[in-house]
Chains A and B, each alone.
Chain A
């Protein structure tokens, strides 16, 4: 003979409950939550998973799931249980995660979380208590409230043209590819209840075996919210709700899913492995002790997008950093982006750098007309202005600065690619400012270029730019 008693996954007395009557639940007479709680608890014990179960309590009457289930609990905000459950399951795939939700929680405020957790096929079990009403907040219309059903927010009954139709979640979720098992059951007569028990057990079994996402919708009664006696509520549910929400299996791919195939795991932190990975990824920058630091410079590189402006500035900053300077690099951003120029700003200094923004450049390199027009006036007296004359048709007007003109884009085209014009300018800049010795750049440049096949061409480009300026200086 089988003895039916309270399963051990429910507490003997409910110590977490506030107020008197620690042996009874807070649920109303005739409410289906009690039945469902008992079926879940029984399954958790039978399957031996109570210790590793995490119950996600929703907002709604079942928010107090932690009064009753002797399992781990994480309470979630209204509608967010599937997102919280996702985090939990990823954190420990060995945990058994129950997202237990009512109709307002699951099918109204949390629709997005519901659909997307299902769509990702999280290996969790969603228990959906559909009683066609908001119970805890005072009997308002739920997304599943039936047409003509009276609630405190549809006092004249739900009207299709005003309130929309009852939403069918099993039908929606079963259209998705990922879910494994979707079934709608009811807490009706004993036959229904046995079916509900079977469905809950099957859903949990699927999760335990790692076969993926299950969604069990349980048509439930809310005699208080419906203002009916418990027997009337059960009859009403079976008569009316099952017409709108037909019972049955909507999707079952449990046999087709490989057990244990769900492996979206967060592995534990291994400091040494992370350290090695980060070092490998960022690649240590080795300062060159033989190279002395360049002078302090505040540089602006400007031109069209696609001319390699940002890279030019980045190379310049890296050359200085490897020589032991403090550097900052910032691309055009915010209001700077207007006016047809892309630019980046580089600061090079011995000491800590203040603003990364260069308001008064000591060095300006321009690769298009708008950049010359916009920035020439900013250069400090005695500063250096470098112009790609292939791209800029008017001559600079300032006489109090050092102007270096070089047809960098044409020189690049002669080499077969316009893409190295920026590096030709770098060569010119090096010669014009004497910021770095030629040999230092030739030695360092290969380390800055990611594609090794391009190293030779860049060295050649740099050399041509450098020599062009040196010849001008000597000539």
Chain B
């Protein structure tokens, strides 16, 4: 197996190519531009296509076009660009087009800054555009996962015929780690039952999201909803560390989960039983598992690079069976290990 030290942003393109992605459409934006730079080299070299679109909006619509033709395709952007792409993603979801989008989150709102945040969580996981829909949202926390989860995003996007999103941040994108390059495998999926690919076999197909009749549109929405329910059963992913005996569970994803990982041994050395729960799929969110854990562990700490977004889902999951605290930094500031350790002291020192 080939292994190489590479940036998370580059690993996304390696993962995409290995997964059979053939087209990339993008618009320059920091800190996601490196993904476009890598795509501009590799896609044409492999007979695929790279287009620097005139706008984020055009990029996502080109993606809608190729993905609607049954070709694995992607776009990548950072937060302000992700806002612009919401229209296109709503259409992809409505027309059941399996597109893949990467959001390397940066500071907001507005122009914000180019430093990392996790403040697009709501937009990514709750259906940031109009209408009843969700993106399938994957949150890598290493360069290897940037590669592997991009591959998985294409699989899940096709499985559910729904757009999938890699929700990451500037740190995971900039970080270099060793990455095992996956072995590309032939695709076993056949798009001809639904895609419109300009051949006689698909002439009768229709990629569309307009349903004028209210009952038809309601039925279409319920069909989408049934897919999401299936996804919530079959494709929830998470990672747990040291939770078996934990008095306190830290819930974090992306770069924050890495900071948390560094604190566990230190906390345990002090006699604090701390564990980590890391959602890998932010949608579908691991609600059931968190509810289960709350039966035993009564204290949760959610840490994010935001003023509190994922914490709402954790609270919904555990209800009143456990206490949920929040510690967030934003604007590009990342919580340090010591800051998290201080939080553990405070929470575990409390009565009850």
A residues in contact (CB < 8 Å) with B: 16, 18, 50-54, 57, 63-64, 66, 70-77, 80, 83-88, 90-92, 94-97, 112-113, 115-116, 120, 264-275, 277-279, 281-285, 314, 317-318, 321, 326-331, 333-335, 352-357, 359
Contact between A278 and B115 (Cβ–Cβ < 8 Å)? no
Contact-size category for B: 35 or more
Given A52-B199, A77-B61, A274-B17, 18 more A-B residue pairs with CB atoms under 8 Å apart are A51-B200, A63-B210, A73-B208, A74-B207, A74-B208, A75-B206, A84-B62, A84-B65, A86-B62, A88-B196, A91-B71, A112-B54, A112-B55, A275-B184, A282-B4, A321-B178, A327-B5, A356-B175
Contact between A266 and B48 (Cβ–Cβ < 8 Å)? yes
Contact between B65 and A85 (Cβ–Cβ < 8 Å)? yes
- In B193-211, the 8 Å CB interface with A consists of 196-200, 202-203, 205-210
What is the CB-to-nearest-CB distance from A67 to chain B, in angstroms, rounded to a whole number? 10
**Residue B212 lies at the interface, judged by CB distance under 8 Å to chain A:** yes
A453, B203: Cα distance in complex, Å = 58
Question: Can you report 16 residue pairs joining A to B where beta carbons are below 8 Å apart?
Answer: A54-B196, A66-B206, A72-B198, A83-B57, A87-B62, A94-B198, A96-B198, A267-B22, A278-B14, A284-B2, A327-B178, A328-B176, A329-B177, A334-B115, A355-B258, A359-B338
A64, B213: Cα distance in complex, Å = 13
Contact between A95 and B198 (Cβ–Cβ < 8 Å)? yes
Cross-interface CB contact of A329 among B64, B176, B207, B213, cutoff 8 Å: B176
The stretch among B224-232, B285-293, B311-319, B328-336 that forms the contact with chain A is: B328-336
* A92-B207 contact given A53-B198, A331-B174, A334-B332, CB 8 Å threshold: no
Cross-interface CB contact of A355 among B65, B197, B262, cutoff 8 Å: B262
Contact between A87 and B171 (Cβ–Cβ < 8 Å)? no
* A76-B258 contact given A87-B25, A275-B183, CB 8 Å threshold: no
**Residue B284 lies at the interface, judged by CB distance under 8 Å to chain A:** no
Contact between B196 and A72 (Cβ–Cβ < 8 Å)? yes
Contact between B200 and A52 (Cβ–Cβ < 8 Å)? yes
* A92-B65 contact given A75-B208, A330-B171, A335-B115, CB 8 Å threshold: no
**Residue B20 lies at the interface, judged by CB distance under 8 Å to chain A:** yes
A163, B149: Cα distance in complex, Å = 50
Contact between A75 and B176 (Cβ–Cβ < 8 Å)? no
Q: Could you say which of A90, A91, A284, A331 has the most chain B C-beta atoms within 10 Å of its C-beta?
A: A91
Which residues from B are CB-within-8-Å of A84? Answer: 61-62, 64-65, 68
A252, B53: Cα distance in complex, Å = 26
**Residue B47 lies at the interface, judged by CB distance under 8 Å to chain A:** yes
* A273-B206 contact given A278-B17, A335-B332, CB 8 Å threshold: no
Which residues from B are CB-within-8-Å of A266? Answer: 22-23, 47-49, 66, 71
- In B171-197, the 8 Å CB interface with A consists of 171, 174-178, 181, 183-187, 196-197
Contact between B51 and A86 (Cβ–Cβ < 8 Å)? yes
Contact between B203 and A72 (Cβ–Cβ < 8 Å)? yes
Contact between B20 and A271 (Cβ–Cβ < 8 Å)? yes
A75, B91: Cα distance in complex, Å = 9
Which residues from B are CB-within-8-Å of A51? Answer: 199-200, 203
Contact between A88 and B338 (Cβ–Cβ < 8 Å)? no
Contact between A88 and B5 (Cβ–Cβ < 8 Å)? no
B residues in contact (CB < 8 Å) with A: 1-6, 14, 17-18, 20, 22-23, 25, 31, 42, 45-49, 51, 53-55, 57-59, 61-73, 87-88, 91, 95, 115-116, 170-171, 174-178, 181, 183-187, 196-200, 202-203, 205-210, 212-213, 216, 255, 258-264, 332-334, 336-338
Which residues from A are CB-within-8-Å of B198? Answer: 52-54, 72, 88, 91-92, 94-97
Contact between A269 and B22 (Cβ–Cβ < 8 Å)? yes
A326, B5: Cα distance in complex, Å = 10
Nearest residue, chain A, Cβ from B170: A333
A211, B222: Cα distance in complex, Å = 45
Contact between A116 and B3 (Cβ–Cβ < 8 Å)? no
Contact between A278 and B176 (Cβ–Cβ < 8 Å)? no
Contact between A330 and B210 (Cβ–Cβ < 8 Å)? no
Nearest residue, chain B, Cβ from A333: B174
Which residues from A are CB-within-8-Å of B178? Answer: 285, 321, 326-327
Q: Could you say which of A75, A83, A113 has the most chain B C-beta atoms within 10 Å of its C-beta?
A: A83
A84, B64: Cα distance in complex, Å = 6
A277, B202: Cα distance in complex, Å = 32
Which residues from A are CB-within-8-Å of B49? Answer: 90, 264-266
Which residues from B are CB-within-8-Å of A333? Answer: 31, 115-116, 170-171, 174
What is the CB-to-nearest-CB distance from A68 to chain B, in angstroms, rounded to a whole number? 12
What is the CB-to-nearest-CB distance from A107 to chain B, in angstroms, rounded to a whole number? 16
Contact between B14 and A354 (Cβ–Cβ < 8 Å)? no
Contact between A72 and B176 (Cβ–Cβ < 8 Å)? no
